[in-house]
Amino acid sequence: MSLNLKIDPEFQNKIPPLTEAEFRQLEENILNDGEVYEPIVTWNGVIVDGHNRWKIILANPWLTYKIREMSFADKWEAFDWMYRKQLGRRNLTDEQKTFLLGKQYEARKHIVGNRTSPRDKDGKFQCIQNDNNGHNGRTVEEVAKENNVSPSYVSRAERFANGIESIQEEDPELADAILTAEKKVSKKDVEDIGRADPSVRKDMIESLKAGKESKKKRSASDQKELNSIVDGMTDGTVMEFTIDHLTDQIRLNADAFIRSLSNLIMDHADIANVHQPEIVKAIDESITKRIIQIKETLNNGTQL
């Protein structure tokens, strides 16, 4: 099979990268199997999903692999598919899930509605009215429903994704560290960087990197100027993690897990169809039993 697939950085850089350890584990698994079981997904010959697998294939051209060519109307439909696919696979950190969800919402806003509708300066269709918060009401509800979270969570995810991309422009390593949870920061601080004027972002990022809140580092006059620049800033209080946030996270993690499990079984449907009882038993023992234990603990009022 010819090794002539195309790599477009716009697609390659849209997905949070694997850590070194994750890539090494993937490479080891593939080399041990002698085959890349999951297809490399392409659109017009450009890789949409499978960049890490393709890198391993190029280094080991003897490996057996498959290509699955997809059909998308435009790049935004391709992005939307990519984010949905990624949200259903891998052991993603909370930060990675939030980033991908925010990017999915951004992509979906570009493809909703009548394709003959006029577009704004960013290329988004203008056929549906925005709500008072400036986001597309029906689209945010659609994405929220698909991911079993609230519309407000989707809106926050988009702001977080914008902040991560602003950080990536200045310090890609810091952005990766935040997404992999190696660097613990407030999501609110990340959101603020995305909404800030470019002239102050560098200082805010440096403060974040140093482990300090940008607001504490600035003088009163500097803070007053920053507050006038950042669109939609709050009164400076840290957003409390509430029961709504927790239930949103439970639903998002559960949905991502179910997608990942379904993809795994579908990718190996030939085995699953022959060994259905064993698959059901494995699910009961490793998943159902543990969920029942968690529910019993909560119902009994036992401290976790």
Residue 293 included in any domain: yes
- Tell me the pLDDT band of 267, cut-offs 50, 70 and 90: low
Residue with tokens 């697998």: 53
State residue 19's pLDDT score: 83
The CA R_g of the chain, rounded to the nearest whole Å, is 22
- The answer to whether residues 163 and 220 belong to one domain is yes
Average pLDDT rounded to a whole number, residues 257-281: 78
**Residue 137: HSE in the Cβ half-sphere, 13 Å Cα cutoff:** 7
- The answer to whether residues 122 and 216 belong to one domain is yes
Write out the two tokens for 211. 């482990």
Helix and strand counts by DSSP (H, E) for the chain: 16, 3
Q: Is 9 helix (H, G, I), strand (E, B) or coil?
A: helix
Name the domain count of the chain: 3
pLDDT tens digits along 162-212: 999 999 999 999 999 999 889 999 999 999 999 998 889 999 999 888 875
State residue 212's pLDDT score: 56
Q: Nearest CA to 190 among 172, 214, 173, 221?
A: 214
Phi-psi region of 44 (alpha: psi -120 to 50; beta: other; left: phi over 0): left
Residue 255 included in any domain: yes
Ranking 12-21, 101-110, 201-210 by mean pLDDT, the lowest is: 12-21
Q: Where are the alpha helices (DSSP H) in 88-219?
A: 94-111, 137-147, 151-170, 172-179, 187-195, 198-209, 214-217
Domain's final residue, options 229, 251, 282: 229
Residue 235 included in any domain: no
Residue 211 included in any domain: yes
Q: How far apart are CA 121 and CA 299, in angstroms?
A: 52
Residue 80 included in any domain: no
Q: How far apart are CA 39 and CA 44, in angstroms?
A: 15
- The answer to whether residues 216 and 259 belong to one domain is no
Average pLDDT rounded to a whole number, residues 101-130: 62
Close Cβ partners of 68 (under 8 Å, ≥ 6 residues apart): 39, 40, 41, 42
- The answer to whether residues 210 and 269 belong to one domain is no
Cβ-based neighbour number of residue 160 at 10 Å: 23
Average pLDDT rounded to a whole number, residues 242-268: 74
Instruction: Judge contact between 102 and 160, C-beta under 8 A.
Output: yes
Close Cβ partners of 145 (under 8 Å, ≥ 6 residues apart): none
Ranking 129-133, 140-144, 168-172 by mean pLDDT, the lowest is: 129-133
Entry pTM: 0.64
Q: How far apart are CA 291 and CA 264, in angstroms?
A: 20
Q: How far apart are CA 48 and CA 41, in angstroms?
A: 6
Residue 222 included in any domain: yes
Q: Tell me the DSSP string of 231-281.
A: TT--SSPPPP--HHHHHHHHHHHHHHHHHHHHHHHHHTHHHHHH-HHHHHH
- The answer to whether residues 113 and 44 belong to one domain is no
Residue 77 included in any domain: no
- The answer to whether residues 107 and 205 belong to one domain is yes
- The answer to whether residues 218 and 132 belong to one domain is yes
- The answer to whether residues 181 and 214 belong to one domain is yes
Residue 86 included in any domain: no
- The answer to whether residues 218 and 279 belong to one domain is no
Structural domain that includes position 19: 9-71
State the burial class of residue 167 (Cβ atoms within 10 Å of its Cβ: 0-12, 13-18, 19+): buried
- The answer to whether residues 98 and 216 belong to one domain is yes
- The answer to whether residues 105 and 199 belong to one domain is yes
- The answer to whether residues 104 and 172 belong to one domain is yes
